[in-house]
Structures are given as structure tokens and as C-alpha cells.
Amino acid sequence: GLSKKGGLPGSFFLDIERNSCLQKIDWKLVLLPTPVLVFWSFTWFALIPPEPTELALASSPEWNSWIVYVYTFFSASILAPVTEEILYRHFAMGLLARWFGSSKPAVVINIGITSLIFAMAHAGVVTEDWIKIVQILPAGFLFGWVNYKKGVEHAILSHSVYNTLVIPISSLIEHFFMR
């Protein structure tokens, strides 16, 4: 569940009694969602190919500079996972846990609500919002489950690994198969 040590619920790293917090990371749990989500995303988009919105196309950088790669990596692999997991998993799940409690049905409802909000926040990048929501909803469920099991740091790491891998994989697929 959510860690209560160190003063901040869900904060694994604030537990100062641990010798090395990096040794306490459950890497199996962190890495487990990635192949599932990569498979799901590419299967879903193969079945129902999304069309990017004009806004998404206008805000997409030209991939002709190393600084674009650095910016994209930082944004997708570090900034988005940290901010989204703190917002959706730490704060929102923490608030809902106070309201609904910690029974199994309450946890499922909590993860479901925060996953739906997380997925809806990713709408607007393809012309049919429901396509993106269905694609990203399982990520919300899995990151919520990781957060419930081990805390927000594990969810951040899991989200970061997924984002770090899905961007180059999708770029390679687009480059070699979609031209």
C-alpha cells in the first residue's frame, strides 16, 4: 500500500530509516507494465489508426536537431512521469483513499476514477478523443496499481520507462513502416 513512513504518504524515498532507497526498488514491478502497454498501444493503434489533430501536428517539433531529442526525452521521460504521477497517483489517489477508504472495492474504484481522469487529460492529440482515451486508460490502471503496491516513486519509474521506450519505438515504426 501507500507508505506512511517519512511523513508523506506514498513517499518511499522519504523513509530515512532505509540505507539505500534504490536497493529497495521492486524493478520487476516497475518494468512489468511496459511490455503490456507497448503491445496494447501498438495493437490498438493498428486496429484503429489515429489521426493527429492540427494542434498536435503544429506543436510537434521537427526532428532535425539534437536539442529536439534532448527536449523530447526530458519532457516525456522525466517531466511528464514525475508531474503526472504526483498529480494523479499521489494527490488524487491519496485524496480518494481518504474519502473511500482502503478496502479492495474502494481501491479498485480509486484506481478506476484516477485512471479515467488521467486518460481524459491525454485527449486532444488525435481527432477522435475516445481513441486516445481507450489507448491510455490501461496505462492509468497499471500505474495506479504500481502506486498502490509500492508507492508513487515506483509509479514514476514505471511511467518513465514506458514513455522512454514507446517514443523511439513509435518513431522507428513510423519511419520504416508508415512512409
- The three cell numbers of residue 117 are 481522469
Categorize the per-residue pLDDT at 6 as very low, low, confident or very high, splitting at 50, 70 and 90.
very low
Calculate mean pLDDT across residues 42-71.
Answer: 82
**Coil vs helix vs strand at 126:** strand
Give me the amino acid identity at 129: D
Q: What is the pLDDT of residues 132-179, one digit of tens each?
A: 999 999 999 999 999 999 999 999 999 999 999 988 787 777 666 655
Q: Average pLDDT of 101-120?
A: 97
Residue 7 has a pLDDT of 40
- Supply the pLDDT for residue 67: 85
Q: Please give the backbone phi and psi of residue 126, each rounded to the nearest 5 degrees, phi first.
A: -125, 155
State residue 18 phi and psi, 5-degree precision.
-80, 140
